[in-house]
């Protein structure tokens, strides 16, 4: 159990760091002030987990771990003072978001499982944990949310969460299942970024003619 708790704590810290950085990079593109950086970083880092906990009727996780809030604020301020050094900030944003996606997909599924959710609900809540922070960030910043673009995004989160749940059901040690699921979710998202993979989109067709009556 100590190893599991340590792994979850480490993944939580890593997820908050990269999602806060992704949020702060978005704030930099919108030329916000330090308060705006902290707000957008916090929305990105905690929005998905908050939605999950509300749906589960569980205590909101970041209210019990104020050090994570302080960490997100610190990352936001660091990006505020250093974002101008990075070229192609949107690319950095995509990769930070991809890492956070993989991590929070499995953490969200694991948290839901601990609250007694069924396997399919745990996968769904893993996807929500991984994606809703980014949705809130993009809506507030007047951007098209990544989840609504044709590229593979929520599918990668579902893949990672589903892999974790499958491995857990097969009796694989939880620490290993978390790591493998996070790696697979990130791997699919990374491949989509590098290779431009996307799901099929709807193609407009001429409407049907209906006979007059």
* DSSP codes joined into one string, 25-84: HHHHHTT--HHHHHHHHHHHHHHHHHHHHHHHTPPPHHHH-HHHHHHHHHHHHHHHHHGG
pLDDT for residue 210: 65
Measured distance CA(95)–CA(116) in Å, rounded? 32
Residue 200 lies in a domain: no
Q: Is residue 145 part of a domain?
A: yes
Residue-level pLDDT at 209: 66
Residue 191 domain-assigned (yes or no)? yes
> What is the spatial distance between Cα 173 and Cα 177, in angstroms, rounded to a whole number?
6
Distances (CA, A) of 43 to 163, 186, 197: 27, 21, 27
Q: Which residue has 């990079």 as its token pair?
A: 25
> Domain containing 57: what range?
2-195
Please write down the HEC assignment for all residues of 106-161.
HHHHHHHHHCCCCHHHHHHHHHHHHHHHHHHHHHHCCCCCHHHCCECCHHHHHHHH
The answer as to whether 134 is a domain residue is yes
Q: 210 lies in a domain?
A: no
Residue 184 lies in a domain: yes
Q: What is the pLDDT of residue 212?
A: 63
Structural domains counted in the chain: 1
pLDDT recorded at residue 28: 94
pLDDT value for 205: 76
**Res 1: pLDDT:** 54
**41 in any annotated domain:** yes
Identify whether 42 is part of a domain: yes
Take residue 97 and report the two structure tokens written for it. 């978001």
Q: Can you give the pTM of this predicted structure?
A: 0.91
DSSP 87: S
pLDDT tens track, the chain, 213 positions: 577 789 999 999 999 999 999 999 999 999 999 999 999 999 999 999 999 999 999 999 999 999 999 999 999 999 999 998 876 788 999 999 999 999 999 999 999 999 999 999 999 999 999 999 999 999 999 998 888 888 899 999 999 999 999 999 999 999 999 999 999 999 999 999 999 898 888 887 776 766 665
């Amino acid at each position: 159990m100590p190893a599991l708790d340590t792994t979850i704590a480490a993944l939580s810290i890593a997820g908050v760091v990269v999602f806060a950085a992704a949020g702060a990079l978005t704030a930099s593109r919108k030329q916000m002030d330090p308060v705006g950086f902290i707000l957008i970083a916090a929305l990105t880092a905690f929005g998905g987990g908050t939605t999950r906990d509300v749906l589960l009727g569980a205590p909101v996780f970041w209210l019990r771990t104020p050090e994570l809030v302080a960490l997100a604020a610190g990352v936001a301020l660091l990006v505020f003072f250093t974002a101008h050094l990075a070229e192609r900030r949107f690319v950095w944003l995509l990769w930070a978001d991809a890492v956070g996606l993989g991590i929070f997909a499995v953490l969200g599924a694991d948290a839901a499982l601990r609250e007694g959710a069924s396997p399919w609900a745990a996968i769904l809540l893993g996807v929500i944990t991984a994606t809703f922070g980014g949705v809130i960030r993009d809506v507030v910043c007047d951007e098209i949310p990544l989840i609504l673009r044709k590229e593979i995004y929520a599918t990668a989160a579902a893949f990672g969460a589903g892999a974790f749940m499958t491995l857990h059901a097969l009796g694989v040690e939880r620490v290993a299942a978390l790591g493998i699921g996070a790696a697979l979710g990130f791997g699919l998202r990374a491949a989509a970024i590098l290779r431009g993979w996307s799901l099929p989109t709807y193609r407009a067709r001429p409407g049907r003619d209906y006979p007059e009556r």
